[in-house]
């Protein structure tokens, strides 16, 4: 039961930070592209990469903290479902180029975020 509570609290915190950060970035960037979601996905991928490669592989993190950060916080923080909806809306609105850019940039930069975390922790 403690593991469920740990994940629950982490996901709630991650979701709240996602809401704040995504909205803040979206308010301060161009309205025609979902920069808030992109930033959240990039940061979430980087945080997860740092946790796995920098802490977990070196056995510097407890199983409870790994659940809290990896499944809880990052699970609540990252926004793949939002990314999918925003991409669909771009396609529905015939913004094909923006949809392709959104897919490409989100996928490439989030993989890059994990890779940079991997490099930093080596």
Q: How confident is the model at residue 59 (pLDDT cuts 50, 70, 90)?
A: very high
> Would you state the pLDDT for residue 17?
98
Which residue is it, tokens 């945080």? 47
Q: In this predicted model, what pLDDT tens digit does every residue of 77-121 receive, in sequence order?
A: 998 888 998 999 999 999 999 999 999 999 999 999 999 999 999
Report the sign of the C-alpha dihedral through residues 108, 114, 120, 122, in that order. Answer: negative
- Please state, in angstroms and rounded to a whole number, the distance separating the CA atoms of residues 13 and 71: 12
Give the mean model confidence (pLDDT) for residues 53-63.
Answer: 93
Taken as a whole, the chain contains a residue count of: 122
pTM: 0.85
- Please state, in angstroms and rounded to a whole number, the distance separating the CA atoms of residues 102 and 1: 39
Give the CA count within 13 Å in the CB-facing half-sphere of 47: 19
Q: How confident is the model at residue 22 (pLDDT cuts 50, 70, 90)?
A: very high
């Amino acid at each position: 039961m403690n593991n469920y509570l740990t994940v629950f609290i982490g996901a709630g915190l991650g979701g709240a930070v996602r809401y704040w950060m995504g909205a803040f970035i979206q308010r301060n960037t161009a309205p025609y592209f979902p920069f808030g979601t992109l930033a959240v996905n990039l940061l979430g991928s980087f945080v997860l990469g740092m946790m796995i490669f920098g802490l977990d592989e070196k056995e510097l993190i407890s199983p409870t903290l790994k659940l809290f950060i990896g499944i809880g916080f990052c699970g609540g923080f990252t926004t793949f479902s939002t990314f999918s909806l925003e991409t669909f809306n771009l396609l529905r609105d015939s913004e094909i180029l923006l949809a392709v850019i959104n897919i490409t940039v989100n996928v490439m930069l989030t993989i890059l975020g994990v890779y940079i975390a991997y490099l930093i922790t080596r």
